[in-house]
Structure 1
Amino acid sequence: MRGRYLRVAAHGELVSLIVLLANLATAHLKPLSSLMGPLHGCAYLFVVIAVWRLDRIDTTARAIAVLPGIGGLLALRWIGRLGVRARPVPRDGGG
């Protein structure tokens, strides 16, 4: 279930960045920027935090996740190659 949220957030991050850049290159509508900017930022933070909280993830996936825009999708692909299921680390640190 958590993997689905990560996948949705990663796609949302990429789409919001594309919309922001397209808006900047064309009409530069302020309402669109003020809507998509925080949306992109929240999606980016969600992706980074979600990847960093996954159990049994190497530093490569965590480093890839901090790339803006495409990092979440690349991290998901890397995690899929490792065969890691999307389970967060327990809060108490125990197993």
Structure 2
Amino acid sequence: MNRPSRLLRGTAPAELASLAVLLINVSVLHLQAVASAIGPLHGCAYLIVIIAAAREAGPDRTATALSVIPGIGGMLALRRLATRYAQPA
């Protein structure tokens, strides 16, 4: 395998985007419908990022620990795993 899984590459940006929408909603819009729709989406993306990073990282516990940070953690774990795959074995 030469790069992180497609699941992690897809859900990490989705988690970050959903958190941004939630924060904008809380600070500006205050719409219950947005919170009701995006909240569960963010929660699912957050859990999928953690699970995918844990599966992908193997013995590298740093990538798994980074994935637990809400919002940006998935992107940080993705970057850590991408640099690991870029290094020669």
Q: Indicate the TM-score class for this superposition, using the shorter chain for normalisation.
A: 0.7 to 0.9
Kept after mapping to 2: 8 A contact 1:14/1:69: yes
Structure 2 segments unaligned to the other structure (5+ residues): none
| Structure with more contact order per residue of length (Cα contacts < 8 Å, sep ≥ 6) | 2
Kept after mapping to 1: 8 A contact 2:57/2:81: no
In the alignment, the residues of structure 2 paired with residue 10 and residue 57 of structure 1 have an alpha-carbon distance, to the nearest angstrom, of 20
The structure whose residues are more often helix, as a share, is 2
In the alignment, the residues of structure 2 paired with residue 66 and residue 15 of structure 1 have an alpha-carbon distance, to the nearest angstrom, of 16
Alignment correspondent of 1:30: 32
Q: How does 1:5-84 map to 2 (within 5 A)?
A: 5-54=7-56, 56-83=58-85
In the alignment, the residues of structure 2 paired with residue 57 and residue 77 of structure 1 have an alpha-carbon distance, to the nearest angstrom, of 16
Kept after mapping to 2: 8 A contact 1:13/1:69: yes
| TM norm structure 1 | 0.81
RMSD: 1.8
- Percent identity over the alignment is 51
Kept after mapping to 1: 8 A contact 2:57/2:64: no
Number of equivalences: 84
